[in-house]
Chain A
Amino acid sequence: MKTVFLGVLATAGLAAGVAGAATLDDVKARGSLNCGVSTGLVGFAAPDADGVWEGFDVGVCRAVATAVLGDPDAVTFVPTTGQTRFTALASGEIDMLARNTTWTFSRDVDLKFEFVGVNYYDGQGFMAPRELGVSSAKELDGATVCIQTGTTTELNLADFFRVNSISYEPVPIETNAEALQQLLAGACDVYTTDASGLAASRATFENASDWVILPEIISKEPLGPLVRHGDNEWADVVRWSLNTLIAAEELGVTSENVAELAAAPTNNPEINRMLGTEGELGAMLGLEASWAADIIAAVGNYSELFESNIGESTPIGLARGLNAQWTDGGLLYTPPFR
């Protein structure tokens, strides 16, 4: 039985299996984008009761699918864990990875990936019960710290405590949910993970005001989508799909007014170039002229995506902070559409 299946599938695989480096052509031929996402991270990627994926990272996948295929639902979401994500991308199982992955030197250079931008600027923080009476992470000498194993947060934590010459006792845990149980049960004094995750977790506590998120952010965590090295055309498509989201907010294009703005050239030439009523930016990428307008119509601009998934109107309630436009004192800054 086993050998039968192996034989049948191996032959089927060999027959079907000549694939080139041109990911864009592959995706068009396949009619669906294979997008690697998290197996579940509040606000960033999660399936709803009907199995439809939702979230901030999911929005990036949908934007790219809309740009290439004109359909935000033409995505096959491939759930990946922290251990399997890079192999899935390197082996070609997925076309792009949008899984709250921190852009680091070694991932970019050594693992041979191409980070195309940053869709969320995060940083590692601490959450402690108010009754512990600490107001700064530097007062945490001797504290027991709950920490997820196998992530960069573990290394950041060690660095932080070493730099400040204070001691701590790590309590290794596997998942966020487990960490919260430990924290609620008092098994650890303080929990450390990305600040967005802390805020999302704090919002689920019955008495959220009994918990404080300490002011120190001890690491830089620029999270962004990434693709494989060596296919620059595809990297451009993903990069400019992300830039479209950000630029649309800056230029005031929303899912509501995009149809109107894309119908005829406006007074703003940059909007015209982006929405395809002027110039041929879409053709340069190998896409339809209306690619950017389609993205905004389907998933909205950066601000809409942010507010509907993780913004202050949601239970997670994240403020824009670093993720505001550069004109508002944040770090979002796209190169011009020219």
Chain B
Amino acid sequence: MSDTNAQSVSFVRDKMLPESAPPTLERGVVKWIRENLFSSILNSVLTLGSIYVIYWIVAHLYPWLANSVWYASSLNECREIRDATVGPGVPSACFAVITDRWEQLLFGFYPNDAYWRPVMALVAFLAAIAPVLFVSLPRKLLWFSAASPFVMFSLLWGGSIWGPITLAVGFGVGYAAFVLLGRVAGALVSVLGSIIAPVLFWMFLAGPIAGALTAVAPIGLPFVESRSFGGFTLSVIIGVSGIVLSMPLGILLALGRQSDLFIINKVSVAFIEVIRGVPLIVWLFTAQLILGYFLPPGTTFDLTLRVIIMVTLFSSAYIAEVVRGGLAALPKGQYEGADSLGLDYWQSMRLIILPQALKISIPGIVNTFIGLFKDTTLVVFIGLFDPIGLSNAIRASTDWNGIYWELFVFIGLLFFIFCYSMGRYSLFLERKLQRENR
């Protein structure tokens, strides 16, 4: 410092002031609120408006939920309990209907003493899907995954275990035909043989063999007919079968649509466009009504199975288009690279093209599956008792006539849990595959 101003400046600070806290308006909660909620007049108005809307919703919902009655045998009893506890006219949910009928909403008319069977089937499904979803699990578990459809069928429908076993043996026959014919004849013959042999086996041998084995060793759970299936069990059965079956079918259709083979290409295009161009509800009515006229009178071709087939076909057309999007997004170099390595068509698809194309398609595929799962509620229109259909049936009992929202809240919650899990898994998968790619 020079001496120029030494006389005029009486005091010069020669050490730093201690840091003081920022002003209240510039820190903590207040700052966050100012910046995020009230940063301008428009934002302030929007914030106040939103707060009012939230308040309005909570103010209406909270008393209804807080005063809910959980144990009663009818709607009138619910109202009596409410009058006695919180007074007449106060909004109050009557969740007693859920306590009374939750088993029905979950299992439909499945026999009471056999509720463990759908539960075990769900456990078997989760165990089977785990090695497919999480690659860190041992690969040996995939053998269980392959066997699980037959295990689940035996658990859900019951009956003699020999039926599903001979059905499974048919696949083994197909594989044996593929390998044996592959040795003596060309690839095309072995592919055709692997399709024709099991079909012949199922048509002519499976029935008598299963019948004979059942007569010798009648092992199996009591048979439960499809009509007893209902509620959330039915939704999950239709949804999961549709999802699992439509995935391979959809991939094949997408490949077929890309194919250079004229007939395969045109058949795939026609199938996809016809199925996709017509609403699902029309296909369900077709399954329910039109098929009834074509089959010989007295034949009952199981309605649940008809619905599963229709839902599978419908969803496979959508999956095919989603996968086609993934295939189209791959650079041409990938296809050419696969060819230059000398891989044949199936090898290049399996090792190079599909892993990349499917990764791109994950969000679209999961989106289709979530949509498919929710669409299963459409079966209410053909007289099947899915959760929505059961809610109508429950309202038709004199005890619960007049109940409305409580049932929808419960059903909505169940669907949310399923769909949200699927959405989270899709995010997990995307993140994981991204990291590997880096």
Contact = CB atoms under 8 A, between A and B. Distances in A.
Interface of A: 1-19, 26, 38-43, 45-51, 54, 76, 78-81, 83-84, 87-88, 90-93, 175-177, 180-181, 200-201, 203-206, 314-316
B293 interface: yes
Contact of B397 (A16, A46, A81, A92): A46
Given A40-B392, A84-B289, 12 more contacts: A4-B198, A6-B309, A11-B202, A39-B396, A40-B395, A45-B396, A83-B381, A84-B288, A200-B398, A201-B402, A204-B401, A314-B398
8 contacts: A3-B199, A4-B167, A17-B299, A46-B398, A47-B109, A76-B227, A83-B285, A83-B381
Nearest to B76: A315
B296 A8 contact: no
B392 A39 contact: yes
Contacts, number: 151
A79 B309 contact: no
Contacts of B301: 9-10, 13
A204 B400 CA distance: 9
Contacts of A42: 395-398, 401
A81 B383 contact: yes
Interface of B: 75-76, 79, 100-101, 103-104, 108-109, 112, 149, 167, 170, 198-199, 202-203, 206-207, 227-228, 245, 248-249, 285, 288-289, 292-293, 295-302, 305, 309, 312-313, 380-385, 389, 392-398, 401-402, 404
Contacts of B396: 38-42, 45-46
A81 B300 CA distance: 18
Given A39-B389, A49-B101, A204-B402, A2 B397 contact: no
A261 to B, nearest CB: 31
A289 B109 CA distance: 35
Contacts of B404: 177, 180-181
A277 B227 CA distance: 40
Contacts of A43: 398
A39 B393 contact: yes
A46 B288 contact: no
A315 B296 contact: no
Contacts of A204: 75, 401-402
B108 A2 contact: no
Given A4-B167, A81-B383, A40 B292 contact: no
Q: Which 8 pairs show the lowest CB-CB distances between chains A and B?
A: A19-B298, A204-B402, A40-B396, A91-B292, A51-B109, A46-B396, A17-B296, A40-B393
Nearest to B298: A19
Contact of B393 (A17, A46, A92, A206): A46
B392 to A, nearest CB: 5
Contacts of B167: 4, 8
A288 B76 CA distance: 44
A17 B305 contact: no
A90 B289 CA distance: 10
Given A2-B309, A7-B203, A204-B75, A93 B397 contact: no
A100 to B, nearest CB: 11
